[in-house]
Amino acid sequence: MEYARIKYLHYLGDKRALRDELVSRGFTSPFGLSARMWKLCLEDALFTLERQWEAAIETVRGLVARHGGLTDEEKRYAFWLLYKPEKGSRPWERVQAIFTGEDVTGGQVKPDEADRLRVRNYLRRALRRVLGKRPRVKKARSFVVDPQMYRVFSTEKRQYIAVSTLTPGERVVVPLAGVHAVKGNLRLVLLPDERAVEVHISCEPAVFLPGDGEAGIDLGVTEVFTDDTGRKYRPEYGEALKEISDYLLDKSRKRQKLWALYRENLERDPAKARRIRKHNLGVLKQRERCRRFRRRCENEVNRAFNEFLKARRPRVVAYEDLSRLRGKAKSRGLSRRVSMWQRSIIRERMGFKWFVYSVEDPGPVNAAYSSQTCPACGWPDPQNRSGDTFKCRKCGFTADADRVAAMNLKARLRDEEITRYTPRSKVKEILLRRYSGNGAV
């Protein structure tokens, strides 16, 4: 599996090259797909692999930055191997060299040969650990069709789309909800219950001109986030998370009782155990309910970013590391699930909205002591914050704690000392030194 990953790394930057190579060999799909179908599937698979590698490389970059056993010169070499330009594709030959053992330097000043080998060995182990198993699609199956593989038509009452099947000349007709301007490549998604199909239309979003100024946001769970002016966006989000948490907790308790009853009857009454397992311990309804909950959260997050970006139109936005978010549910397991939803939804929406509103993304800033440091005098003290209220014990500055956090995050956008990976203890030392340097007692 790893050999296949490495072998096709250089195709990720040029997906068409692999397709042309397969065509020149006279490739035919073993699953009966037409040439047009397997070419689209191939591009989709390579895109999935590329996203997995990009996510893994970003994670490993963070590990390298925090690694205490690498020298500064070795870290620079590691970052050079994992480098991606702002415009254009990633030089995948550098990543491939990590696994093939090829010693690449790019003509720059690098560590000696032994240190370069040590760096490549570390990156290889880290990437293997982060990548794990090969990526797999979810149960909801999906595929892409181009304009030659479907036909849209309407009757007096409804609009339909006829999609090509594996049998030449035959098409499946799918009724659409509403009337839409359908064009270009489409993605068809078979929903988990296998009784409905979603048709995703690809279109170019309207991109706004870049704004001016900077802004900071503090992500939360009672609302999506609070900005540095003190405005809280979508408090309905907290109500949705609470409802999700309460439902999952109650449902889990009931299912645990049913599982206990099922285990008690496995030997005493196997028929009853089978009935309990079949009629009371299914997952289809639970998955559908969780899917609706997740969609509700997605809607609230999307509305929050729309309201914020339309009102503020910032050029740069300061935000904290999403991996540190924690859902405030009533149990650790449920908190972990809600937190996972929250991180993935916000990460996806943030990337898309940053593109639409032309927002520069310098990456997350260090959030250590951001809600405990006074933005007026700079005194860092956990006792400055009490619940949702902030009151400085030195100068008396009072404000909402989330607003204070957003203000401090915004201030750290241009902070050369407190970087993203500065340890928490080091941040405290810097803040105390600055407070003392200002002449405060």
pLDDT(430) > 90: yes
Per-residue pLDDT band at 139 (split at 50, 70, 90): low
* 82 shares a domain with 23: yes
Tell me the range of 46-50, 180-184, 329-333, 354-358 where mean pLDDT is highest: 354-358
pLDDT(205) > 70: no
d(Cα 378, Cα 375) in Å, to the nearest integer?
Answer: 6
Please report the pLDDT score of residue 31 as a whole number.
82
* 392 shares a domain with 283: no
Per-residue pLDDT averaged across 171-181, rounded? 85
Q: How far is CA 287 from CA 102, 143, 282, 329, 339, in A?
A: 47, 22, 10, 19, 17
* 311 shares a domain with 423: no
**SS3 of 105, please?**
coil
| CB 9, CB 92: distance < 8 Å | yes
* 223 shares a domain with 352: yes
Please report the pLDDT score of residue 135 as a whole number.
58
* 315 shares a domain with 253: yes
Please report the pLDDT score of residue 183 as a whole number.
82
| Greater pLDDT, 361 or 88 | 361
Assigned domain for 197 exists: yes
Per-residue pLDDT averaged across 160-187, rounded? 86
Assigned domain for 344 exists: yes
Backbone angles phi, psi at 426, to 5 degrees: -65, -40
Assigned domain for 373 exists: no
Q: How large a percentage of the chain has pLDDT more than 90?
A: 25
Please report the pLDDT score of residue 330 as a whole number.
45
**SS3 of 333, please?**
helix
* 126 shares a domain with 14: yes
Tokens read off for 431: 């803040």
Among residues 96, 131, 166, the one where a domain terminates is 131
- Which range of residues forms the domain containing residue 227? 214-356
Residue at token pair 């030959």? 93
Assigned domain for 39 exists: yes
| Greater pLDDT, 202 or 330 | 202
137: left (phi over 0), alpha (psi -120 to 50) or beta: beta
Per-residue pLDDT averaged across 305-331, rounded? 78
Please report the pLDDT score of residue 327 as a whole number.
47
Entry pTM:
0.62
Tokens read off for 48: 């999935």
* 38 shares a domain with 126: yes
Looking at the chain, how many residues does it have? 441
* 235 shares a domain with 348: yes
Number of domains present in the structure of the chain: 4
d(Cα 392, Cα 349) in Å, to the nearest integer?
Answer: 34
Give the N- to C-terminal CA distance of the chain in Å, as an integer: 62
Per-residue DSSP letter, 147: G
d(Cα 186, Cα 40) in Å, to the nearest integer?
Answer: 11
Assigned domain for 165 exists: yes
Assigned domain for 363 exists: no
Per-residue pLDDT averaged across 322-351, rounded? 64
d(Cα 152, Cα 160) in Å, to the nearest integer?
Answer: 6
| CB 400, CB 389: distance < 8 Å | yes
- CA 101, 105, 110, 113 torsion-angle sign: positive
**H helices of 8-112, where?**
15-24, 35-66, 72-81, 92-100
| CB 185, CB 202: distance < 8 Å | yes
* 421 shares a domain with 386: yes
Please report the pLDDT score of residue 315 as a whole number.
92
| Greater pLDDT, 315 or 88 | 315
Q: What is the mean pLDDT of the chain?
A: 83
Please report the pLDDT score of residue 329 as a whole number.
44
What pLDDT, in 10s, does the model give residues 368-378?
A: 999 999 999 99
* 151 shares a domain with 107: no
Among residues 112, 131, 150, the one where a domain terminates is 131
Instruction: Give the CB-side neighbour count of residue 162, counting CA atoms within 13 A.
Output: 8
Tell me the range of 8-12, 179-183, 222-226, 304-308 where mean pLDDT is highest: 304-308
pLDDT(129) > 50: yes
* 295 shares a domain with 190: no
* 338 shares a domain with 247: yes
Please report the pLDDT score of residue 388 as a whole number.
86
Among residues 131, 158, 178, the one where a domain terminates is 131
Assigned domain for 262 exists: yes
Assigned domain for 413 exists: yes
Tabulate helix, strand, coil % of the chain (nearest 5). Answer: 50, 15, 35
